[in-house]
Amino acid sequence: MITVICPVYNEENYIEMLLHFFVHAAPAEKELIIVDGGSTDHTRKIIEKWQKEHSNIILLDNPDKYVPYALNKAIAAAAGDPIIRLDAHTVYADNYFEKIIETFRDTEADIVGGPMRAFGKTPLQSAIATATSTSFGVGDSSFHDPSYKGYVDSVYLGAWRRKVFEDVGMFHTRMKRNQDDEFHYRAKSKGKTIYLNPEIKSLYYPRDSFKKLFSQYFQYGLFKPLVLKKVKSEIKLRHLIPAIFVCYLLAVPLLYFYISFLALLPLLLYCLSDAFFSFRSGKTILEKLLAFIVYPVLHIAYGSGFLMGLIRAPGRS
């Protein structure tokens, strides 16, 4: 039997889609543990309606609200192996679970998963999906490469053999964001293998506004120094470049005053790169124009968060 776990909070627009997928996907021997962080919409009512017909759907409460607490609570209650995480904002291929089981069998890896494939319903979501799948947007992370197959640092969502938690420990509750990165980096540092298989297919819906996107990536950046402090072996250049870029932007007025127009050359090169990656992809002119804005939002948000995380480590209780 497999155990499927899913933290939720106010997911009335998405939860029924996830429940329908779980119930109809193979294998038949499975359980779903949903951990609710105190939803104030109809999320719980929808889950309780499905529970009446499906005894393998379990609903737990998460008074601590944040995702790592929910994951740890679900893992402690899990009866199956492997343990597979789902997200309510993601659409899964019909054979999602089967491909995970197959990948475990074929690779004997400790942790497996697929790449993050972003998909947009709106022009802005499509632009964000484009930006977060390019090297200019997110660096050389295999995590975002839909064609890469092999051993990696981390995977989207993730599926874990039960023994991993016995050997590595649970999710760090201080990590309100990036808890999956921290856990996977820690597992890898302890000799666990992580395998990415592009045949494990899912589609993720990005944020639907610039404000939400900025907040999301600021949080990613904010917690990244804490992750890298805990697992120093996973420090990569791609983690540092956005922070360096933000420092440059802050220094541009002084640099321009003392060095003249030459100080603007890096900014010019950035804008040209932004234009190149934005306009070589995207289905419509609107999506291309939006992508041109999305790239600097990603970089400035992440870089600002990273610098803030260096100044004061987040998540202190």
25 and 124 in a common domain:
yes
For residue 23, the domain's CATH number is 3.90.550.10
As a whole number of angstroms, the distance between CA 248 and CA 266 comes to 9
pLDDT in tens, 117-137: 888 889 999 999 889 888 898
Cα separation values, 262 from 249, 257, 267, Å: 14, 10, 10
191 and 253 in a common domain:
no
Domain boundary residue, one of 209, 241, 271: 209
Domain boundary residue, one of 176, 209, 242: 209
Name the band, by pLDDT with cuts 50, 70 and 90, for residue 314: confident
Cα separation values, 76 from 4, 81, 88, 89, 165, Å: 12, 12, 21, 24, 10
Domain boundary residue, one of 209, 239, 274: 209
193 and 250 in a common domain:
no
Percent of the chain residues past pLDDT 70, beyond the cut: 95
288 and 144 in a common domain:
no
pLDDT of residue 317: 41
pLDDT in tens, 263-285: 888 999 999 999 999 998 767 89
**Domain region containing 243:** 229-311
52 and 132 in a common domain:
yes
Cis-peptide into 146, omega within 30 deg: no
pLDDT of residue 234: 62
166 and 34 in a common domain:
yes
Q: Which of 3-12, 171-180, 224-233 has the lowest mean pLDDT?
A: 224-233
Within a domain: 111: yes
**Structure token pair of residue 119:** 């998909």
249 and 127 in a common domain:
no
Within a domain: 250: yes
Cα separation values, 229 from 67, 221, 233, 243, Å: 21, 13, 9, 16
290 and 177 in a common domain:
no
Q: Which of 40-54, 94-108, 121-135, 289-303 has the lowest mean pLDDT?
A: 121-135
151 and 291 in a common domain:
no
Say what the pTM is.
0.83
pLDDT in tens, 196-238: 999 999 988 888 899 999 999 999 899 888 877 766 666 777 7
202 and 160 in a common domain:
yes
The number of folded domains in the chain is 2
142 and 44 in a common domain:
yes
Length in residues, the chain = 317
Within a domain: 215: no
Average model confidence (pLDDT) across the chain: 90
